[in-house]
Chain A
Amino acid sequence: MPDPDVEDLLRPLAPQVLGAVIRRYGHFDLAEDATQEALLAAATQWPVAGIPDNPRGWLITVAGRRLTDLLRSDHARQRREATVARWARPDQMLAPAADRPPESDDTLILLFRCCHPALSPASQIALTLRAVGGLTTAEIARAFLVPEATMTRRISRAKQRIKESGLPFRLPPPAERAERLGAVLHVLYLIFTEGYASTSGPNLQRTELAAEAIRLTRTVHALLPDDGEITGLLALLLLTDARRPARTGPAGELIPMAEQDRGRWNADYIAEGLALVSEVLPRGPTGPYQLQAAIAALHDEAPSTEATDWPQIVALYELLLDLTENPMVALNHAVAVAMAGGPQAGLDLVGKLQHDERLAHDHRLHAVRAHLLELAGDHRAARESYLAAAELTMSRPQQRYLYGRAIRLADLPATETTEATEDS
């Protein structure tokens, strides 16, 4: 059994230890393996032998020794590889070490490295969870419901690509930093959504991924407290995760926001999220994560669907639409318009979206149309849309929910209305 106290101690140390080993010896790929083995050794030894006086030093030493072993077997197995040190351009060779950063930045450097643009999003996520989150390959594979061998291959390919890129262990140059930070935030967001609304498989939520995304985002926020979008992302994750306890029923079934017991929402997360939103919004400029956090805040503050400030939500979605070309934002905007101005206004917007190739085969478009048709009283058309949505989703709880709505409508008279939600 893993010891929770030791686990809590080890996870934040993981990127610090890896950073220290890479700084001293290089070899990103093997250093990562060596650090994992040191963490594993600690997880098995410390609960029995006790926690050493200097846990970080212990881990660095053990990882360093393990790296020596790995290098020796690596050298014995294959011929020495000559890596072209791309960064050693003679004209900048002796630039003063202005970038000598405090060691706390190692976590950031690792995040930038794991979210390198040469990697696919799936590889970025897997590598981030391992190298920065300190999760084992088996844990990551379980979280993403793929065989461990598949995840092992994905991670080793990602590490190989990073090795080939030959980048030195340092923060990206200032000119690239904003863009690269965007990639980091996107990966954290994807880890969260994968945990919060699983795209496949029998369980609707894999809470450990959502919790890990929040933990990592907190870390980044602590390192760069003045960045508005990091603050916005942390607020968004907290305000969304706050609803998790009410989002599923006893049998794991999906409960839409309109029908959730708001008393079960996580009041601490809501308070923390609201404080972050009100701290960051006046600062400007307002980015997409801040806007989504502001929308989530309006939902979380409202005592009920009816009492929600829908016109304000419509206005925020319109600002968001100016910033992003995301069809899901357009879809959520349509829902908000329907809630503020009646279902027909929403249906008109959904009608324009169904020709968007990115949405045409997404269950969410059909689910939203079904809700709005139901709200408008067109039960026959609503039922068809629920069935179409159920066919398209990969998530079994969502399927059960959508089939359930469709079956219920078959028994209803044509005038009764129920409420639409944006949360399905």
Chain B
Amino acid sequence: MKYMIMLYGSQQDYDVLSGRPTAKPAMSGVEIAAMHEYMESFHKRLADSGELVDAQGLSAPVHARRIRLDNRVPVVTDGPYPETQEVLAGYTIVECASIDRAIEIAAGLVNPDADGEYVDVRPIIDGIADLEL
């Protein structure tokens, strides 16, 4: 069974990471290195246990483009999100024995020092059979 673990962040959170001055204090280089190291070893262990399918981080929300159709003509909006809106920042897809195991893995992706941070776990649809009947 496959599950997607979704991580969220706002443009402001990305700014904290990049050291840009905002309302929140910026992270130090040492803190950022520690975080990268943690994520790397975390996913390495997932790969070793055979449960990692894919993991990707998304670039800052400011780079997002929103595409609509206006009279069937594509119209593109740059940076559609407000500064503080939490949007998808990255995901880890795992294939594991049960949702219980997926939850266990997901708990390792929440920063224990960031109050109120969360991730979501959602079962991935196996195939068209899941939607039929």
Chain A interfacial positions (CB closer than 8 Å to B): 22-26, 57-58, 61-62, 64-65, 85, 87-88, 90, 93-94, 96-97, 99-101, 168-170
Interface string of B36-55 (1 = CB under 8 A from A): 00000010011011110000
Q: How many chain B residues touch A (Cβ–Cβ < 8 Å)? A: 25
Are B103 and A85 in contact (CB-based, < 8 A)? yes
**Cβ of B115 under 8 Å from chain A:** no
User: What residue in chain A is nearest B131 (Cβ atoms)?
Assistant: A61
B residues sitting closer than 8 Å to A (CB atoms) are 1, 42, 45-46, 48-51, 96-101, 103-105, 107-108, 112, 123, 129-130, 132-133
CB-defined contacts of B108 to chain A, threshold 8 Å: 90, 93-94
**Cβ 8 A contact of B100, one of A61, A96, A168:** A168
Q: A169, B132: Cβ atoms under 8 Å?
A: no
B100 neighbours in A (Cβ, 8 Å): 26, 87, 168-170
A61–B129 Cα distance when bound, in Å, is 8
Expressed in whole angstroms, the Cα–Cα distance for A110 and B75 within the complex equals 53
Q: Which of A22, A24, A65, A93 contacts B104 (CB 8 A)?
A: A93
- Given A65-B133, A90-B112 in contact, is the A25-B107 Cβ separation under 8 Å? no
CA of A57 to CA of B108 in the docked complex: distance in angstroms? 33
Known: A64-B130, A97-B51. 8 other contacts (CB 8 A): A23-B97, A65-B133, A93-B104, A96-B45, A97-B96, A97-B97, A170-B97, A170-B98
- Chain A residues lying within 8 Å of B101, measured Cβ to Cβ, are 97, 100, 168, 170
* Chain B: CB-nearest residue to A54: B129
Measured between C-beta atoms, what is the minimum distance from B37 to chain A in Å?
15
Evaluate contact between A24 and B105: CB separation under 8 angstroms: no
Tell whether, in the assembled complex, residue B98 and residue A169 are in contact, meaning their CB atoms are under 8 Å apart.
Answer: yes
A22 touching B98 by the CB < 8 A rule? Answer: yes
Nearest CB on B from A191, distance (A): 28
- Considering only CB atoms, which chain B residue lies closest to A57 in the complex? B129
CB distance from A13 to the nearest CB of B (A): 16
13 inter-chain pairs at a CB distance below 8 angstroms, sorted by A residue, are: A25-B99, A58-B133, A61-B133, A85-B103, A87-B100, A93-B107, A94-B105, A96-B45, A97-B50, A97-B96, A100-B101, A168-B100, A169-B99
Q: How far is the CB of A403 from chain B (nearest CB, A)?
A: 56
**CB of B75 to closest CB in A, whole Å:** 34
> Could you say which of B48, B98, B133 contacts A62, with CB atoms under 8 Å apart?
B133
Which residue of A22, A65, A87, A94 is within 8 Å of B49 (Cβ)? A94
**CB proximity of A177 to chain B, nearest CB, Å:** 17
Q: Is the CB of B104 within 8 A of A96?
A: no
Partner of B96, one of A65, A85, A87, A100: A100
CB-CB under 8 A from A22, the residues of chain B are: 98
Cα-based distance from A401 to B4 in the complex (angstroms): 66
Q: Which residues of A contact B51 (CB under 8 A)?
A: 97
CA distance A85 to B108 in the complex (A): 12
A94 in contact with B112 given A22-B98, A58-B133, A99-B97 (CB within 8 Å): no
Chain A contacts of B133 at CB under 8 A? 58, 61-62, 65
Q: Shortest Cβ distance from B115 into chain A, in angstroms?
A: 16
Tell me the smallest distance from the CB of B30 to a CB of chain A, in Å.
21
- Of A57, A88, A100, which one neighbours B97 at CB under 8 angstroms? A100
Task: List the B side residues contacting A85 at CB < 8 Å.
Answer: 103-104, 107
